[in-house]
């Protein structure tokens, strides 16, 4: 059974800093890995999707890496801004019998300090 | 392009009452998902439809939860009777074809069971 862990559970950083969020998964046989953002009272927004054959993906100030063999991914946020405050969720697509399922971590709550 | 729509956004009921949630996926998306997100946890898949057929309902508590997707478009998730532990956000998502495609999430319905 696939399990996804995110560390830390919460993070408070000064505005302008670069930061790293960590994600680990127990079964390395994944199809892809996604990072989502969730704002309070809202649904999930997909930030980056990394296919299992890829090592990293970049979008603006965000960079996600994937090391499938060690079961790890990191989300790097450069020059953090107040609007980056949100919960960041890592999720992997892996086979669950006859179907592929998205398994989520519990998320990292990011709070920006002015 | 319109996103995934859900209603209601909030619902408060007493235990043992019944409740229903509605979801309208992105136009043309064949696959629809219902997730349950308990406070402080990542979303957990309850049921997945492809068109109007059930692909995966292995984590749906079938003694009290039911879902349907008539005509392969809109979907309804019902809880009857509700328990205190059903308090959560219920997220609907859709993807173009299969579960390995990017999933787009609605804003969710926050259910409080008293």
Rounded CA separation A112/B13 (Å): 35
Q: Given this model, what pLDDT does residue A41 score?
A: 79
Q: Do A107 and B42 touch (CB under 8 A)?
A: yes
What is residue A106's predicted lDDT score, i.e. its pLDDT?
Answer: 96
Q: What is the pLDDT of residue A95?
A: 79
Give dist(CA B93, CA B6) in Å, integer: 10
Q: Which residue stretches of chain B have pLDDT < 70?
A: 1
- Interface with A, mutate which of B43, B55, B88, B106 (most A CBs under 10 A): B43
What is the pLDDT at residue A94? 86
Cβ neighbour number for residue B67 with a 10 Å cutoff? 22
Residues B5/B26, Cβ–Cβ less than 8 Å: no
Residue in A9, A59, A1 with CA at minimum distance from that of residue A35: A59
| CB distance A48 to A57 below 8 Å | yes
Cα→Cα distances A45→A8, A24, A87, A89, B82, Å: 20, 20, 11, 10, 29
Among B41, B58, B107, the residue with its CB nearest the CB of A43 is B107
Secondary structure (3-state) at B66: strand
Give dist(CA B111, CA B108) in Å, integer. 9
pLDDT at residue number B1: 63
Which residues of chain A register pLDDT less than 50? Answer: none
Q: Which of A32, A43, A96 sits opposite B108 (nearest CB)?
A: A43
pLDDT of residue B66: 97
Helix, coil or strand: residue B23: strand
Q: What is the pLDDT of residues B83-102, one digit of tens each?
A: 999 999 999 999 998 777 88
**What distance in Å separates residue A7's CA from the closest CA in chain B?**
13
Instruction: Indicate yes or no: CB of A42 within 8 angstroms of CB of B107.
Output: yes
Both structure tokens of A31? 């199809």
């Amino acid at each position: 059974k696939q399990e996804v862990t995110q560390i830390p559970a919460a993070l408070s950083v000064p505005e302008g800093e670069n930061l790293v969020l960590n994600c680990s998964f127990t079964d390395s046989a994944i199809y892809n890995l996604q990072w989502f953002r969730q704002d309070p009272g809202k649904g999930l927004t997909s930030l980056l999707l990394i296919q299992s054959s890829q090592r990293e993906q970049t979008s603006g100030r965000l960079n996600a890496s994937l090391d499938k063999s060690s079961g790890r991914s990191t989300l790097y946020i450069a020059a953090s801004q107040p609007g980056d405050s949100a919960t960041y969720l890592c999720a992997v697509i892996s086979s669950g019998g006859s179907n592929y399922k998205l398994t989520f971590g519990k998320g990292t709550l990011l709070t920006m300090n002015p | 392009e319109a996103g995934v729509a859900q209603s209601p956004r909030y619902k408060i009921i007493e235990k043992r009452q019944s409740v229903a949630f509605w979801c309208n996926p992105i136009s043309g998306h064949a696959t629809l998902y219902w997730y349950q997100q308990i406070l402080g946890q990542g979303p957990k898949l309850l049921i997945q439809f492809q068109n109007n057929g059930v692909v995966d309902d292995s984590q749906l508590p079938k003694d009290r939860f039911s879902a349907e997707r008539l005509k392969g478009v809109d979907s309804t998730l019902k809880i009857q009777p509700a328990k205190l532990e059903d308090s959560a956000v219920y997220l609907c998502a859709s993807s173009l074809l299969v579960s390995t495609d990017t999933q787009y999430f609605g804003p969710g319905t926050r259910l409080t069971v008293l």
